[in-house]
Structure 1
Amino acid sequence: MNKILFTLLSFLIFSAAYAQEKIIARNPTVITGRLVKVTGELRNYKLSDKAIPDVIVRDLDGIVGKDEAFEEGVERPRYPASKTFKSDPALQKLYPVNVQANVANRAIVQNFAGMPYQPLNPPDPSLCVGPNHVIQMINGSSGALFKVYNKTGGQVVAQTYLDAITTKGGLGDPIAIYDQLADRFILTEFNNKPETGTEGLTMAVSKTNDPAGQWYVYFFSTGNTFPDYPKFSVWNDAYYATTNDFANGSTYAGSTVYAFDRAKMLAGDATATVQKFTLGSTDKFFSMSPVNLEGSVVPPAGSGGLIAYMQDDTWTASSTDVDSIGLLEFNVDFTTPANTTIKYKVTLATLAFKSDLCTATRGQCISQPPIQGTTGTTVKLEGLDSKIMNQPIYRRFGGYEGIVLTHLVDKGSSIAGARWYELRKTSGNWGIYQQSTYAPDNTHRWLPSICYDNGGNIGLAYNVSSSATGVYPGARYTGRKECDPLNTMSYAENVLIAGTASSSSTRYGDYNHLVCDPDGVTFWFTCEYNVASTWSTQIASFTLDPCTPVTCGDPASLASSAITNTSATVGWGAVANAVSYDVDYKAASSATWINAATATAATSANLSSLTQGTLYNWRVRATCAAGSGNYVAAQFTTTAPVVCGVPTGLVSSAITSGGAQLAWGAVSSATSYDVDYKLTSSATWINAATATAATSTTLTGLSASASYDWRVRANCSSGSGNYAAAQFSTIAQGCTDQLEPNNTAATAAPITIGVTYNALIAANGDNDYYAFNNTPTLKKIRVSLTNLPVDYDMKLYRPSGALTATSQNGGTTSEQIIYNASKNNDIGTYKVYVYGYSGTFSSTQCYTLLVELGANNFSSTSAQTNQSNAVQVVRSGLKVYPNPASGTFTVSFDAYKKGTATISLFNQVGQQISDRKVSVENGINFNSLDASRLKAGVYFIKVNNGNGVQTQKIIISR
């Protein structure tokens, strides 16, 4: 929908030199889209499946609840009157008139009814075409409607509201596009803020090439800004769009250009974003439409999305301004948005044109015969001028790139005609290759749409109407062959669908849609027309015959270069008029050709995965518009194999739950190394490094507690050696402590007997307390602390709060306390205290705690603490100093009462070195030991009173 005629002036004063490559803006606004849903298969959709209720959002006056006077209710100022003219200097002078005499295959191929009338204006028809399907979209009372047809008009998916499958309340202005590069379909509309809570755009992307299958549904919010008259296009790096923006749905606030992350949307990625620039509130930007890529050949590398615009010299006050068209270029970087820019690509002076047909309100200049059943009542239709019409088309041909676009002009005497242009670029920047206005008589031709086929032929389709010539609102088309005289539509005008009645509404359009079938030769058009006072829609297709066949030459100057033992580059000279090339290769001893490139525009191809020391044949042929030429062949031999050593000394280190460091010894003469890895259970290798000069690499993103294989091979100047392999296992995955807070005895976490708990000491100072109860029949206690990531110790407290026992084994050795209680006062709530030795901790790796009760005594194991029913003598506070020690060192501990204890010395593998029985007094006890005869290393001191053991580590240095 065209929303406004500006009150603001265009600020660009045309200058070809000034306009080239000037950056308009950087740092776009980035919006993360919402992946609303993945639909079910549309072939199974029933009306009863509609996800949201119908809401009437459009009627015969347009959008319900919006004062659409703002759409075109304010007139632009025009400067100055002397700049106007009486007739169009680009007007085509000669027209073929004998329709029947024209070439047979330019006739209509298909012609069937589109979706029927809805009680609203205008219908805004759009369509897209894939290899086997046609999708039409129009406005409906509750938003955009779509229907999927086969190529002969048969129904595949019934007429359905788009928001019935997207669940985002729709408002219409639909655009349908087909992404030929991905073989996918895209359906779009803007949204109804009362239903969605925000203004925005909905895009549905087919999950596969089957439009009756599933669809990804995305919603992109524009806040309180109404994105009017959205137009969309496909490019190889993004989906592009333009909108005319209205703050709070009423005040024009400039026009916006968007780049949607095509790659993520095709994958159904929920993180897909759109980057956008909002440009000034000028007529030039208000006229914009994105350029749509058709065909299978992508633009040259680095070519950004293109946006077409027009500029009428009467839109500015400058006396030196001229009528022009131009292109903006949107260079998007989805990884680093700060690199994204939009710039003037080129501004091109055109032959003079007058974009306003007349001075009537909202451009109501298109006449039609009197309305049936009235006494001469006439209604004039809106022309929708001052816009690049839906939609400009880009194709890349052999030797040049091309764009076609069209807009409405006054041919003279306020008669509407279609001004069309072809732009071309061979090197450097774009230029106008040809331009003309098609208006063969005094019938209005408006709402034009233009398109290329793959031979460079151009189709042009449009609506027609006139009270002067007695033509009711209908649709026609014309066209030209690529080899026809420039600036001429050489085909006689043909009727697609004839109108037989006049429209009772002034609203018409707002656009039609002409596209090219993926077959490259068939044009498809959808439009509005009248067989009653209310509108109907039609879908039709036609073809244009190719130019007289030109013999396609054979490639010459064949050359083979960059030959290695496994690859080569083959090249040839360009062939005149060639559109593309086909390249095959094979081993000379083989009878089977292998395709290397099909329909490539390049004049070279890279061959890989070849066999060493082998003679190869390769061939190339050129393809022109008329067909393919002959194959021309050549040969090369890959280099002979040279033995490259096998890496040795493979080491896996720094192994965590999610990563590992791999290293190997250098191989003599190696220039680089290739490294792969995989789960031992998998058959598929994953590349970790290719052609790295380093002798180590780091793996990340691994699975915890898993066995991995890895391999490495050396690459020498003449080839690669054999792989050497090794294996490692990742450690257990870290865990989140779900028993916190339990840092004090008062907040001890209650645990269940016999249940294994995984818990975490996540920081220095973090301690864990646990509480449990024994019973008169199950008095005996065994507490086990295992799977220690670092040096953790453990204590057990009786119901009275007294310390019962301590386990302090060194390193990551498991800890265990056994308390074989026998007295009734030993029944109650016990507490286990787990802590890190000297504050050690692991923020990612868990320990395991298990408490068991029994009716019979538990037996102790080596290096564990066994606490019987006797009273503990050694209480706490075991200290060893100095530590490290080289001579005599002191062992001190606190005791409850007098008695005896044994001080034992163990090495780090658990072998007992010595023991010494000592007398114990109540309070702090001190004993000296001689380490002068001990070897340097790590030892453990254990103090045992027969009922309990405390352990402390000591380092002996020399």
Structure 2
Amino acid sequence: MLSRHRAGSAAAVLLITLGSVVPGAGASAVPSAPGGQVRHIHQRGTAEYQPTGTGTGVPAALSTEIPHRHGDDARVSAAAGADRTLAPAGATRAALTRSATTPAPPPPPGVIRTPRLLTSFDGINHRQQRTANNGNQFSLEPPDQALCVGNGHVVEAVNDAFRVYAANGTGQTGVVDLNTFFGYPPAINRSTGVFGPEITDPVCLYDPTTRRFFLVVLTLGTTRDGDFTGQNQLDIAVTGDPTGVWKTYSVDATDDGRNGTPVHPNCPCIGDYPHIGVDAYGFYLTTNEYAFFGDEYNSAQVYAFSKRALARGDADVLVTQFDTTAADAGRNGFTLWPAQSPSTGDYDRSQKGTAYFLSSNAAEEATGTDDYVSDSIVTWSLTNTRSLDSARPAVRLHDTRVGVHRYSLPPLADQKAGPAPLAECLNTPACATVLLGAPDPLAPETLSRLDSNDTRMQQVTYTGGRLYGALDTAVPAGGATKAGIGWYIVQPRSSSSSVHASLLRQGQLGLAGSHLIYPAIGVTAEGHGVMAFTLTGGGYYPSAAYAAFDGHAGAGAIYLAKAGVGPQDGFSGYRAFNDPPRPRWGDYGATAVDGHRIWIASEYIGQRCTLSQYVADPFGSCGGTRTALANWGTRISLIKP
């Protein structure tokens, strides 16, 4: 992910990771549908798990380990580290259990269910992704965790690796890098120095109607020498068996007229921060569109497909693209998150099929100012989605604002002090010389505070006629301003020409002395839910946590799925690699509803080691638990709400 203004695209990598991208072959435009432009995309090929060898994880020369970013990526926005927030009132007090098995205090009135942790296991960690494909990978932060569950499979994808698990955590596949999975050359061939495409921002879902898994990534093109070309595309993979063969499609996101794309200002552009959802008829993909070689932001883009055409593996599929420039009462749309539903009975079939999205509008991309404060969120509807199955889709996009309590940019999140061998190495001339080739001229390094996201909407669920969403915000907790969560339950109503929405419930979740960051809400068809997030603070290492969440009363008591055992100690938090540093975390967590149970996934730190263990042979591996440059991990848990 880039600076705050491009949170999501190209994860902070320890070098750029790209090669030539093959655009969707033969893409062509057809006349625009009402409110959107329609064009053809064609099946690109297949993707599948392929076993690969494991590298050592020992850092190569930093010229092929640390990214040389373009445009906004070449520097970090001052806003990324500034605490410029105004704390909203009314933060919810939450009690925290010290372990998942210790009973929680009574939940607030109306929260009638106490969630039970059924199973929990480690997902992909940084070492596994860096050493995949014989080590022909880059050091990446953050993981940008994708999670989808169905047909007895638990699928996880991160920057930049993929694995399928059984429900008990047993691997049904090994860890494979996403370049190999999608059939691209390695991110970097460390024998020849040739770059391949950079893949980033993985997202996935399981659709209960078609019984298909959908996995989407943003793929950025470079030359063989690693220079960006401006070409980028959204790669879509679809399958019924995630351990088998997936059919793949590519949607060009440059929007400069190539491959049937519209011509937008400041392009070629990048389709940043993709997210996906479904309704009864359609599959939806949204992006934030930025100039590829500049700082300009255009607006959120919405892509609508027939999900049955994708599920069938049709050779030719229509996509309808909407541009949300000035759509929100003159503001540009930003991070429209499409809704997912837990069951086929939850879709809104009125208006010949209606899909929903939520977004917030406090970010600079929407307002044109850097205040990051708002008292409204936005509900979007896409109507007549049944027409996506026809030869002439005629879907229409509508939006309306919903008034909420003020939310604002959260402060950086601190973490419990502990051994941070990368920071200690950078502060030790002999060790820094081994790592950097010279002593760190910017020493001393200090333990970083974690990026707490901005105010963009996170995962959205539609069930029982209600939309559920959450975002990161500043909250008052224990007499201080902390990073916390704003959550919303909205009841939308669509007509053929507009959408209306009522706010049913809202709240803000905070914890004295700690921070709650990167929320994701999952809700069953019965209205029982869980909200996952990372918990960190002066008394906690970054931990995988969750809260009870009820469809009527909202968020309740907080629990730990797995406590972190050490501090985050990754390259993006230190000046030697990024000055000023931006300690990357999250971008997003994930939930996936599986019948009456909910899977959650969050980033956490599952290892710790001392400097002496770090400098042992092999350098930086700490007994095979991390790499020299990063130590993030992911935790996957099954909850019965």
TM-score, length-normalised on structure 1? 0.47
Partner of 2:461: 393
1:734-765 deviation digits (Å, cap 9, x = unpaired) = xxxxxxxxxxxxxxxxxxxxxxxxxxxxxxxx
The 2-side partners of 1:256 and 1:394 are apart by: 20
Seen in structure 2, the aligned counterparts of structure 1 residues 31 and 170 have a Cα distance that, compared at 3 Å, is farther
Partner of 1:210: 241
Seen in structure 2, the aligned counterparts of structure 1 residues 244 and 308 have a Cα distance that, compared at 3 Å, is same
Residue segments in structure 1 that go unaligned for 5+ positions in a row: 7-24, 49-55, 359-363, 545-958
Report deviation, 1:527.
Answer: 2.6
8 Å CA contact 1:60–1:121 kept in 2: the answer is no
* SS of structure 1 residue aligned to 2:594: coil
1:840-863 deviation digits (Å, cap 9, x = unpaired) = xxxxxxxxxxxxxxxxxxxxxxxx
Alignment of 1:566-605 (within 5 A): none
8 Å CA contact 1:242–1:290 kept in 2: the answer is yes
Task: Identify the match of residue 225 of structure 1 among 254, 264, 269.
Answer: 269
Q: Does 1:235 align with 2:235?
A: no
8 Å CA contact 2:280–2:349 kept in 1: the answer is no
* SS of structure 1 residue aligned to 2:179: helix
Report deviation, 1:357.
Answer: 2.5
Report deviation, 1:538.
Answer: 1.8
The 2-side partners of 1:475 and 1:179 are apart by: 26
Alignment of 1:888-899 (within 5 A): none
- Structure number with greater Rg is 1
Seen in structure 2, the aligned counterparts of structure 1 residues 249 and 274 have a Cα distance that, compared at 3 Å, is farther
The 1-side partners of 2:493 and 2:43 are apart by: 40
8 Å CA contact 2:413–2:515 kept in 1: the answer is no
The 2-side partners of 1:205 and 1:304 are apart by: 22
Partner of 2:36: 28
Which stretch has the larger CA shift, 63-72 or 524-533?
A: 63-72
8 Å CA contact 2:334–2:360 kept in 1: the answer is no
Alignment of 1:70-81 (within 5 A): 73=77, 75=79
Task: Identify the match of residue 174 of structure 2 among 154, 158, 162.
Answer: 158
1:562-620 deviation digits (Å, cap 9, x = unpaired) = xxxxxxxxxxxxxxxxxxxxxxxxxxxxxxxxxxxxxxxxxxxxxxxxxxxxxxxxxxx
Report deviation, 1:325.
Answer: 0.9
8 Å CA contact 2:466–2:489 kept in 1: the answer is yes
* Structure (1/2) with the larger strand percentage: 1
Task: Identify the match of residue 454 of structure 1 among 493, 516, 525.
Answer: 525
TM-score, length-normalised on structure 2? 0.68
The 1-side partners of 2:179 and 2:481 are apart by: 40
Partner of 1:193: 221
Report deviation, 1:150.
Answer: 0.7
Partner of 1:357: 410
Report deviation, 1:441.
Answer: 1.3
Which stretch has the larger CA shift, 29-38 or 454-463?
A: 29-38
Seen in structure 2, the aligned counterparts of structure 1 residues 267 and 88 have a Cα distance that, compared at 3 Å, is same
Report deviation, 1:365.
Answer: 5.0
8 Å CA contact 2:199–2:217 kept in 1: the answer is yes
Partner of 1:652: none
Q: Does 1:329 align with 2:378?
A: no
Equivalenced residue count is: 486
Partner of 2:556: 490
Report deviation, 1:316.
Answer: 7.1
Q: Percent identity?
A: 19
Seen in structure 2, the aligned counterparts of structure 1 residues 536 and 94 have a Cα distance that, compared at 3 Å, is closer
Seen in structure 2, the aligned counterparts of structure 1 residues 528 and 33 have a Cα distance that, compared at 3 Å, is farther
8 Å CA contact 1:28–1:337 kept in 2: the answer is no
Q: Which amino acid aligns with 1:418?
A: I
The 2-side partners of 1:58 and 1:219 are apart by: 30
Partner of 2:118: 109
Partner of 1:540: 637
1:441-476 deviation digits (Å, cap 9, x = unpaired) = 12011111111023211211111222xx33211221
Partner of 1:285: 333
Q: Which amino acid aligns with 2:548?
A: G
1:191-214 deviation digits (Å, cap 9, x = unpaired) = 1212798311101100xx322222
Seen in structure 2, the aligned counterparts of structure 1 residues 459 and 96 have a Cα distance that, compared at 3 Å, is same
The 2-side partners of 1:247 and 1:148 are apart by: 35
Partner of 1:440: 511
1:114-165 deviation digits (Å, cap 9, x = unpaired) = 112132211111110113010100112xxxx211111111121221233324
Partner of 1:695: none
Report deviation, 1:232.
Answer: 1.2
Partner of 1:771: none
8 Å CA contact 1:418–1:437 kept in 2: the answer is yes
Report deviation, 1:190.
Answer: 0.8
Seen in structure 2, the aligned counterparts of structure 1 residues 499 and 404 have a Cα distance that, compared at 3 Å, is farther
Report deviation, 1:94.
Answer: 6.0
* SS of structure 1 residue aligned to 2:180: helix
Partner of 1:340: 395
The 2-side partners of 1:256 and 1:421 are apart by: 23
8 Å CA contact 1:368–1:379 kept in 2: the answer is no
Alignment of 1:740-779 (within 5 A): none
The 2-side partners of 1:158 and 1:147 are apart by: 6
Task: Identify the match of residue 315 of structure 2 among 251, 270, 287.
Answer: 270
Seen in structure 2, the aligned counterparts of structure 1 residues 89 and 370 have a Cα distance that, compared at 3 Å, is same
The 2-side partners of 1:415 and 1:46 are apart by: 44
Seen in structure 2, the aligned counterparts of structure 1 residues 448 and 105 have a Cα distance that, compared at 3 Å, is closer
Report deviation, 1:189.
Answer: 0.6
* SS of structure 2 residue aligned to 1:445: strand
Partner of 1:930: none
8 Å CA contact 2:97–2:560 kept in 1: the answer is no
8 Å CA contact 2:279–2:341 kept in 1: the answer is yes
Seen in structure 2, the aligned counterparts of structure 1 residues 392 and 204 have a Cα distance that, compared at 3 Å, is same
8 Å CA contact 2:88–2:475 kept in 1: the answer is yes
8 Å CA contact 2:2–2:73 kept in 1: the answer is no
The 2-side partners of 1:59 and 1:369 are apart by: 31
Alignment of 1:43-62 (within 5 A): 45-47=50-52
1:503-533 deviation digits (Å, cap 9, x = unpaired) = 2333333334332333232333243435246
The 2-side partners of 1:408 and 1:70 are apart by: 25
The 1-side partners of 2:370 and 2:599 are apart by: 41
Report deviation, 1:73.
Answer: 1.9
Seen in structure 2, the aligned counterparts of structure 1 residues 215 and 382 have a Cα distance that, compared at 3 Å, is same
The 2-side partners of 1:197 and 1:88 are apart by: 40
Seen in structure 2, the aligned counterparts of structure 1 residues 96 and 154 have a Cα distance that, compared at 3 Å, is closer
Seen in structure 2, the aligned counterparts of structure 1 residues 301 and 75 have a Cα distance that, compared at 3 Å, is same
* SS of structure 2 residue aligned to 1:500: coil
Q: Which amino acid aligns with 2:302?
A: V
* SS of structure 2 residue aligned to 1:157: coil
* SS of structure 2 residue aligned to 1:480: strand
Partner of 1:171: 199
The 2-side partners of 1:101 and 1:365 are apart by: 27
Partner of 2:349: 300
Partner of 1:88: 88
8 Å CA contact 2:410–2:473 kept in 1: the answer is yes
The 1-side partners of 2:567 and 2:79 are apart by: 31
* SS of structure 2 residue aligned to 1:236: coil
The 1-side partners of 2:473 and 2:603 are apart by: 20
Task: Identify the match of residue 383 of structure 1 among 452, 457, 464.
Answer: 452
The 1-side partners of 2:146 and 2:63 are apart by: 17
Q: What is the RMSD of the two structures over their aligned residues, measured on CA atoms?
A: 3.6
Report deviation, 1:291.
Answer: 1.6
Partner of 1:411: 475
Residue segments in structure 2 that go unaligned for 5+ positions in a row: 7-32, 54-60, 107-112, 131-138, 185-196, 224-228, 255-267, 425-443, 574-582, 609-629
The 1-side partners of 2:37 and 2:77 are apart by: 30
The 1-side partners of 2:96 and 2:539 are apart by: 21
The 2-side partners of 1:164 and 1:29 are apart by: 33
Alignment of 1:724-873 (within 5 A): none
8 Å CA contact 2:514–2:535 kept in 1: the answer is yes
8 Å CA contact 1:231–1:289 kept in 2: the answer is yes
